[in-house]
A and B are shown apart, each in its own frame.
Chain A
């Protein structure tokens, strides 16, 4: 992997409009059964503009940034050798239906360990007003030759 990736910041992704049915679909897939994830009236009664996405939903928006990283011509990352090492989300607020979200990826760490390389990146996700919503941090492990 190219060590010069360290510190690189990518262009913001195209805005992602969070749909109500997408939240329901994702909620069902992760066994999320809270009324806040499904019922707009319940969400409004709890103070939200619309239904609330489950905590790991930001991965859907982060995915576009990781695709940018893997596609970077000088990155030297072989997609078939990539394993997800760890994942973290730091929230300012929950995502709700109607949000229009943009993600900006920065590579924050590159290291080698026992023939494997590890790349840590942070995707900062903001809404249509530019306000921070959540930061998604991933470490991808690129396995070396066996």
Chain B
């Protein structure tokens, strides 16, 4: 796991469908209907059915896990939810994750994630601190 400051260590594109949201609802236990019912999403003023923020947080770190090979090396992982991911019933939503080295010491490395949907970032301060031990 050798990396330089500013280096892109992983990059991956995920296509979310409504099925993905139903699957995540079941796995996580978050059954808020704004994640699967258009009428409910509309009634609370949303632009459409949204992906769970925690689903986006969940897959956004996976390219980092695959790069380091063992998720237990992650010391800390944080995100801010800044924009929603609207999941179209037929086309879904395409979300891109770019993982870059944001800081580096002898003991650990900070990976900064840029997570983009429809040309806008959807997570802020998305960072994973990884142990080099």
A residues contacting B by CB (< 8 A) are 22, 25-26, 28-34, 36, 46, 48, 52, 54-56, 59-60, 63, 80, 83-91, 93-94, 137
Contacts and interface: CB of A to CB of B under 8 A. Distances in A.
A30 B29 contact: no
Contact of A87 (B72, B75, B79): B79
Contacts of A86: 78-81, 125
Among all A-B residue pairs, the 6 with the closest Cβ atoms: A30-B58, A88-B78, A29-B27, A94-B72, A56-B58, A86-B80
- Majority secondary structure, A binding face: mixed
Contact of A85 (B23, B61, B69, B80): B80
A46 B27 CA distance: 25
A32 B27 contact: no
Contacts of A31: 14, 58-59, 62
B76 interface: yes
Nearest to B127: A88
Contact of B65 (A34, A59, A63): A34
Interface centre among B20, B23, B62, B128 (most CB of A within 10 A): B62
A32 B27 CA distance: 13
Contacts of A34: 65-66, 69, 71
A18 B55 CA distance: 19
Contacts of A46: 70
B57 interface: yes
Nearest to B84: A83
A118 to B, nearest CB: 12
Given A29-B28, A55-B58, A85-B80, 17 more contacts: A30-B24, A30-B27, A31-B58, A32-B58, A32-B62, A32-B65, A55-B71, A56-B77, A59-B54, A63-B28, A86-B79, A86-B80, A88-B76, A90-B75, A90-B76, A94-B71, A137-B78
